[in-house]
Amino acid sequence: MTLTPLSYRVVDRRDETHDTVTLVLEPAADALKPFAPGQFAMLYAFGVGEIPVSVSRLGDGRRLTHTVRAVGAVSRALCGLRIGGWVGVRGPFGTAWDTAAAHGNDLLVIAGGIGIAPLRPLVDAVLAEAKAFGRLNVLAGARTPADLLYGDEFPAWGKPFGAVTVDRPSGGWTGRVGVVTTLLREARFTPSGTVAFVCGPEVMMRATARALIHQGVRPDRIRVSLERNMRCATGHCGHCQLGPLLLCRDGPVVGYDQAEPLLTVREL
Amino acid sequence: MTSHPVGSTGEGVFTALTAEHRGKLMALAREVSLPGGARIFEEGERADRFWVIRSGTVALDVHMPGRGRVVIETIGAGSLLGWSWLCPPRQWHLAAETRDPVRAWEFDAAAVHDLCAEDTALGLSLVTVVAEIIGDRLRATRTRLLDLYGPPGSGPVP
């Protein structure tokens, strides 16, 4: 099942930004097993190729929602799909954001750029059982206001604290300007009782993890989602190897205590 | 256990100082409230004060011909506003405007300089705190130079 793509049809699509699209997929026949927040699928654009894409919303267990940014041939082909178009899907793959282990803790959900997409199902899951957690802080960084994903949903997420900051404000932007770590000063959390979920470019995740550790959050309580060149997605081909980890199988979500020594090794 | 923001009383920026030093410094603080849209200082003016933001947000901007005021960065609760008072030429390099109503502790730079001259250990601690903040902002600026969220190929060319 994990090696052969199943056929899914695009039943909805939404243009999120100038280069990012959210696709809702429905199986033609059999559906893949349910995904967990943080896991990814291999999406196959017929005749072009296959790429890993995290689920960006969990639906009814049959439908899949993926947010794709057009950065290469395959992602451009996926972004070009219209309603009724077909895509091959394998999955679910990889490790998930472990919400059960975070019960009773304050939460920091910190996203950079399209990194907010894999975190959205986590926010949905937390909001669905909000009483099981402490305070939920959602912090997001984007390049410009126009690049912010899910802007219409964001205001309902952070309880008590949610904020967006951009690197490049455009005319009329009255929100925050600067890197996402600057928002940490205003977030409401008790460092020793906090679990952080971080997703974005690797440099952003390293800077965020350093800031969190400096504030007293334990490295093993900082969960990051790593990205490497995933091909087989079943832990066999080795393309996504990061030291002792095969990220398609042992990741993408790992603890920073495990990730930190690996991320500072060049060309690993 | 520490609950954030640690600067909820205004002293959060100075948590690295000893209680004695923090007390001496805070004795010089004056509580101020500013409405949204207030210009706090302008580029080129004498930097004779600094603030610790207690609530609200301040935008640092620079005027660009043809583009008007361009916001460089925003500063929120628990943060230091202003460090140009520390070193010559003691002029603001940017301008500052409140984004929304702001409450802050305001410090007279000359009085703080005098206190540091009188208590050099306090002075060294305070300079270390401000240097750490400047370092944080430098690292943040360098990170933004990388244009991490931009399309592939954007950012500085190696």
Which residues in chain B touch residue A114, judged by CB atoms under 8 angstroms apart? 149
B74 close to A (CB below 8 A): yes
User: What's the residue count for chain A?
Assistant: 268
Q: Side-chain half-sphere of B55: how many Cα atoms within 13 Å?
A: 8
Among the listed ranges A23-32, A155-164, A216-225, B118-127, which one has the minimum average pLDDT value?
A155-164
Q: Which pLDDT score, from 0 to 100, does residue B2 have?
A: 36
Check B140 against A191: CB less than 8 A apart. Answer: no
Q: Which pLDDT score, from 0 to 100, does residue B158 have?
A: 53
Check B76 against A71: CB less than 8 A apart. Answer: no
Of chain B residues 46-65, which have a CB less than 8 A from chain A? 57, 59
Check B76 against A207: CB less than 8 A apart. Answer: no
Residue ranges of chain A whose CB lies within 8 Å of a chain B CB = 19, 71-72, 112-114, 141-143, 147, 165, 167, 169, 173-179, 181-193, 200-201, 203-204, 207, 215-216
Residue B150 has pLDDT above 50, yes or no: yes
Taking the model in full, what pTM does it have? 0.90
Among the listed ranges A196-205, B71-80, B145-154, which one has the minimum average pLDDT value?
B145-154
Q: Which residues have a Cβ under 8 Å from the Cβ of A68 and sit 6 or more positions away? A: A20, A21, A22, A23, A43, A53, A75, A78, A79
Q: Residue B19 CA to chain centroid, in angstroms?
A: 21
Q: Which pLDDT score, from 0 to 100, does residue B154 have?
A: 64
Rounded to 5 degrees, φ, ψ at A185 are -60, -30
Interface A–B counts its CB contacts (< 8 A) at: 90
Q: Return the CATH superfamily for domain A6-93.
A: Translation factors (2.40.30.10)
**Structure tokens belonging to residue A159:** 């309880």
- CATH number corresponding to A100-263: 3.40.50.80
Q: Which pLDDT score, from 0 to 100, does residue B3 have?
A: 39
> Between vectors from CA A77 to CA A71 and to CA A80, what angle results, nearest 5°?
100
Q: Which among B4, B73, B78 is the nearest to A177, CB-wise?
A: B73
What ipTM was estimated for this complex?
Answer: 0.84
Surface-to-core class of residue A115, CB atoms within 10 Å of its CB (0-12 exposed, 13-18 middle, 19+ buried): buried
Report the candidate in B26, B5, B143, B156 with the shortest Cα–Cα distance to residue B77: B5
Q: Which pLDDT score, from 0 to 100, does residue B157 have?
A: 55
Q: Which among A147, A185, A192 is the nearest to B149, CB-wise?
A: A147
Which residues in chain A touch residue B77, judged by CB atoms under 8 angstroms apart? 185-186
**Structure tokens belonging to residue A183:** 């928002």
Report the candidate in A117, A210, A112, A119 with the shortest Cα–Cα distance to residue A166: A112
Taking residues B32-56, report their average pLDDT.
97
Check A204 against B148: CB less than 8 A apart. Answer: yes
Rounded to 5 degrees, φ, ψ at A153 are -90, -30
Domain B6-145 architecture: Sandwich (2.60)
Chain A closest-CA separation from residue B1 CA (Å): 7
Domain ranges of chain A: 6-93, 100-263
pLDDT in tens, A62-88: 999 999 999 999 999 999 999 999 999
Q: Which pLDDT score, from 0 to 100, does residue A96 have?
A: 96
Which residues in chain A touch residue B73, judged by CB atoms under 8 angstroms apart? 177-178, 182
Mean pLDDT of chain A: 93
Identify the three-state secondary structure at position B138.
Answer: helix
Identify residue A25 by its one-letter amino acid code. Answer: L
Residue B7 has pLDDT above 90, yes or no: no
